[in-house]
């Protein structure tokens, strides 16, 4: 499969949760590139191109011998750096017998992989989501395959007014769609911020059943989208009258950090990693199960809608002219950032 050209490269993307990568060989396609992952005896994660140089047999369908992968077709063997260390029937190893090794980093419970040129792979530029691995927080998580392009998921997450209509009975209430948003685009750092503060809102079941709040709530939704790879929703709720104005402290609120890692699989499919971290009911498995099940239901509702949109895009092509309104300002800013990042990627400049 050829590398994609419509999504930014020279970028860090989430490849997996750290808990997914162990001694077994795990295959995952990122930005059109098939990659095999495993955890070496040192504990470090290894990421190699998932194709033997001989006849392209998937290394993920092969076997490990120590920290070496032995191809399951003809026995070509590769070390953790991707160098071929043995070939069948001869002692001389061809000079070009190696597979690509990808820079990886582990942070905040994620395994990140760098897609693009090796030289600028600076792990200090990876955006943070510290709640996912911090004391005082409990996190539920999952990943859903999305048969739709990365940009559709970006649009979806930056316009939460759809919660009212697509996720009613779970996370959506009328106030989400009715409340105006404030948008800020930090072009220099590739960050889009979208805020919606509701002073007197209905408490949706997602929060009522997890916090025990009854009656109306003050509800804050503050989005930070780090283009193109990570989305943070800083969600805060409290009974009406508890939360102060936006500039004040919110120590008495219930805090929920909703995190999405948006990782293109191909031009028209996406790995939709999702997490919900909370600072209340930390040891309550009933609350964890409820939030996990409800958030997965919400994600699957998005998946169904976005898969449908992908089918429509394939059918309609460029024949349809979109209409954008105020609620789309965050998504439109993200589109501009992604285009700018894509314009400077290796695939675009080659």
Q: For 287-298, what is each residue's pLDDT tens digit? A: 999 999 999 999
Give the domain-ending residue among 58, 93, 125. Answer: 125
Contacts of 287 (CB under 8 A, 6+ apart): 210, 278, 281
Same domain, 295 and 344: yes
- 184 and 298 co-located in one domain: yes
Region 340-347: mean pLDDT is 75
SS3 71: coil
Structural domain includes residue 109: yes
Residue 135, pLDDT score: 95
- Determine the pLDDT at residue 2: 37
Q: Does 52 score more than 90 pLDDT?
A: yes
Give me the domain span that covers residue 262: 134-349
236 in the same domain as 108: no
Considering the domain architecture, whether residues 193 and 326 belong to the same structural domain is answered as: yes
> Quick one: pLDDT at residue 3?
39
Domain boundary among 90, 125, 160: 125
95 pLDDT exceeds 50? yes
pLDDT digits (tens, 9 = 90+) for 97-130: 999 999 999 999 999 999 999 888 999 999 999 9
**Cα distance between residue 349 and residue 191, in whole Å:** 23
Q: Which tens digits make up the pLDDT trace of 176-227? A: 999 999 999 999 999 999 999 999 999 999 999 999 998 999 999 999 999 9
Angle between the N-to-C axes of helices 285-316 and 150-158, in degrees from 0 to 180, rounded to the nearest 10: 120
231-281 tens-digit pLDDT: 999 999 999 977 665 555 577 899 999 999 999 999 999 999 999 999 999
| CB-CB contact of 253 with 107 (8 Å) | no
Q: What is the pLDDT of residue 246?
A: 52
Q: State whether 319 and 185 are in the same domain.
A: yes
Q: Which of 125, 142, 173 is the endpoint of a domain?
A: 125
- The pTM score is 0.94
Residues of the chain with pLDDT > 90, as a percent, come to 87
Q: Is residue 333 part of a domain?
A: yes
Strand order in the sheet with 11-17: 11-17, 110-115, 104-107
Same-domain check for residues 118 and 139: no
Residue whose tokens read 């790879």: 229
Same domain (yes/no): 328, 244: yes
Total domains in the fold of the chain: 2
The reply to whether 186 falls in a domain is yes
**Is residue 6 assigned to a domain?**
no
Tell me the H-state helices in the chain: 150-158, 162-166, 174-178, 205-211, 285-316, 329-343, 346-349
In a domain, 204, yes or no: yes
3-class SS at 32?
coil
3-state helix, strand and coil shares in percent for the chain, rounded to the nearest 5: 25, 35, 40
User: Average pLDDT of the chain?
Assistant: 93
Q: Is a pLDDT exceeding 90 seen at residue 319?
A: no
- 34 and 163 share a domain? no
**318-326 long-range contacts, Cβ below 8 Å, gap at least 24?**
326/180, 326/181
The CATH number linked to 59 is 2.102.10.10
pLDDT at residue 1, as a whole number = 35
On whether both 301 and 162 belong to a single domain, the answer is yes
> Do 250 and 229 belong together in one domain?
yes
Does residue 187 lie in a domain region? yes
> What pLDDT is recorded for position 347?
57
CATH code, domain with 328 = 3.90.380.10
Predicted pLDDT at 350: 45
Task: Check residue 40 and report its DSSP letter.
Answer: -
Q: Give the N- to C-terminal CA distance of the chain in Å, as an integer.
A: 18
- Tokens 């997450």 — which residue? 157
Give the separation between CA 137 and CA 121, rounded to whole angstroms.
Answer: 30
- Residue 142 three-state SS: strand
Average pLDDT in the 135-145 region? Answer: 97
What is the DSSP secondary structure assignment for residue 5, as one 8-state letter? Answer: S
- 110: helix, strand or coil: strand
Residue pair 123/243 in contact by the 8 Å Cβ criterion: no
Comparing 6 with 301, the larger pLDDT belongs to: 301
Tokens of 4: 């994609």
Q: Which one is predicted more confidently, 41 or 120?
A: 41
Burial class (CB in 10 A: 0-12, 13-18, 19+), 72: middle
Q: Diameter of the chain by CA atoms? A: 78
Whole-angstrom distance, CA of residue 201 vs CA of residue 213: 12
- How much of the chain, in percent, has pLDDT values that exceed 70? 95
pLDDT at 349: 44
Query: What is the predicted pLDDT for the residue at 244?
Result: 63
In-domain check, residue 5 = no
In a domain, 2, yes or no: no
Is the backbone peptide bond immediately before 103 cis, with ω within 30 degrees of 0? no
pLDDT of residue 337: 94
pLDDT greater than 80 at residue 61: yes
Locate 213 and state its tokens: 């709040």
- How far is it, in rounded angstroms, from Cα 191 to Cα 140? 25
DSSP for 212-249, written as a single string: ---S-EEEEEEEEEETTTEEEEEEEEEETTTS--TTS-
| pLDDT at 153 exceeding the cut of 50 | yes
Query: In this structure, are 22 and 157 located in the same domain?
Result: no
Short-list 28, 63, 23, 22, CA closest to 263: 28
Pair 183, 292 in one domain? yes
């Amino acid at each position: 499969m050829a590398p994609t050209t419509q999504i930014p490269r020279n970028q860090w993307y989430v490849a997996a949760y750290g808990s997914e990568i162990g001694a077994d060989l795990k295959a995952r396609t990122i930005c059109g590139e098939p990659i095999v992952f495993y955890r070496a005896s040192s504990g470090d994660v290894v990421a190699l191109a998932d194709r033997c140089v001989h006849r392209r047999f998937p290394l993920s369908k092969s076997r490990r011998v120590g920290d070496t992968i032995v191809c399951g077709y003809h026995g070509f063997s590769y070390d953790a750096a991707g160098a071929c260390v043995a070939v069948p029937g001869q002692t001389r190893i061809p000079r070009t017998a190696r597979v690509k090794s990808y820079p990886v980093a582990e942070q905040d419970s994620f395994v990140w992989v760098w897609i693009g040129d090796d030289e600028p792979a600076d792990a200090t530029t990876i955006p943070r989501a510290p709640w996912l691995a911090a004391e005082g927080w409990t996190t539920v998580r999952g990943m859903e395959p999305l048969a739709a392009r990365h940009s559709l998921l970006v649009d979806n997450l930056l316009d939460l007014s759809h919660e009212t209509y697509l996720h009613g009975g779970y996370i959506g209430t009328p106030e989400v769609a009715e409340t105006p948003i404030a948008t800020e685009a930090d072009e220099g750092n590739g960050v889009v911020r979208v805020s919606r503060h509701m002073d007197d809102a209905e408490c949706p079941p997602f929060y009522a059943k997890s916090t025990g709040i009854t009656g109306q709530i003050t509800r804050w939704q503050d989005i930070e989208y780090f283009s193109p790879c990570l989305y943070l929703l800083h969600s805060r709720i409290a009974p009406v009258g508890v939360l102060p104005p936006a500039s004040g402290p919110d120590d008495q609120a219930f805090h929920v950090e909703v995190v999405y890692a948006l990782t293109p699989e191909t031009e028209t499919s996406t790995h939709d990693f999702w997490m919900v971290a909370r600072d209340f009911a930390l040891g309550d498995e009933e609350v964890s199960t409820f939030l996990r099940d409800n958030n997965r239901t919400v994600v699957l509702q998005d998946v169904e809608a976005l898969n449908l949109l992908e089918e429509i895009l394939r059918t309609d092509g460029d024949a349809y002219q979109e209409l954008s309104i105020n609620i789309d300002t965050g998504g439109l800013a993200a589109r501009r950032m992604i285009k700018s990042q894509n314009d400077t990627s290796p695939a675009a400049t080659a």
